[in-house]
Structure 1
Amino acid sequence: MPTRSPYKLSQNGHWHLVVLVCLSTLGCSYGSGDGIGSVTGTVTLDGEPLPQVMVTFSPSNGERESYGVTSVSGQYQLRYTSRELGARTGEHQVRISPMGVEPREPVARAKDDSVLPSHYYGKDFLIRKVTPGNNQINLELTSTPSTKAG
């Protein structure tokens, strides 16, 4: 005598609803995790969009970094993990580096064919704050490093 499967669909289709709910919880979330804010923006250099550069947000407290790559129009969206978009809330060191260059390691200009000035990666960085919810953080870069008043 054949046995009935406990996974057989019911007449009401309740099993479909259970599967749909389970599947909807998978995939990317957008800054919905505890202490994560969604971060998007545009990177410009001297007022022009800066395409194909890596944007790295490193929390000042040493937690996991978030990364993004700019589009042709200079827009980026940070990714916290492979499944979650955004960055930890709080203060961040922000580095913008050429593709294929480690954000914290300086590269000799002779090896770097990017138009990106080296004062935005390596030992140099910007400071930005990520808050809960949606963050629009535009990064307006200049070819000449700013001088800091002592």
Structure 2
Amino acid sequence: MFIPKRILTAVLGLILVGCGSEAKDLPDLGSVSGVVKIDGEPTEDVIVTFAPVSGGRSSTGITDSSGYYELNFNSTTSGAIIGQHNVFISSNVEHDPNDPEAPMVPPAGNVPRDYQRIEKQAEVKAGDNEIDLSYP
């Protein structure tokens, strides 16, 4: 069974919220958006993760039907920490609702496993950042 995007986004948002960060506690952020293409085609339901090289909270987003993503720092704030990031992509996950012990696995064909192992680098600057990602 496929987990709907809105549910996955809510879960990711809750994970990112952490321990109740207030706006005054936020680091400097830049907004980040772009398009993910796999084998030359925009790809839907790709989880995009930007992990700051210097440490700190990662930002994530999920691509829509046109491959477009926007990063979220937490459930209420968009963007990513300013600076260098390691960038990863992964597939949305499926699991068998009839077997709660079954592992969650990537859907076939969404993001090839070899592409999930590719680490890219990107710099987030203050303001708006358009960072398109192409794989391989």
**TM-score scaled by structure 2?**
0.67
Q: Give the 3-state SS of the residue equivalent to 1:41 in structure 2.
A: strand
What is residue 136 of structure 1 aligned with on the other side? 130
How far apart are residue 42 of structure 1 and its match?
A: 0.3
Q: Computing the radius of gyration over CA atoms, which structure comes out larger, 1 or 2?
A: 1
Pick the structure with more helix per residue: 2
How far apart are residue 118 of structure 1 and its match?
A: 2.2
Structure 2: runs of 5+ lacking an equivalent:
1-22, 95-104
How large is the RMSD of aligned CA atoms in angstroms? 2.2
Give the % identical residues.
Answer: 37
1:119 maps to 2:133: no
The 5 A counterparts of 1:16-35 are 34-35=27-28
1:48 maps to 2:41: yes
Pick one of 58, 71, 84 that aligns with 2:77. 84
Q: Give the 3-state SS of the residue equivalent to 2:114 in structure 1.
A: helix
Residues 24-73 of structure 1: CA deviation (Å, up to 9, x unaligned): xxxxx9xxx64100000000112210111100000001200000000000
**TM-score scaled by structure 1?**
0.62
Structure showing greater relative contact order (alpha-carbon pairs closer than 8 Å, 6 or more residues apart): 2
How far apart are residue 115 of structure 1 and its match?
A: 3.7
Structure 1: runs of 5+ lacking an equivalent:
1-28, 102-109, 143-150
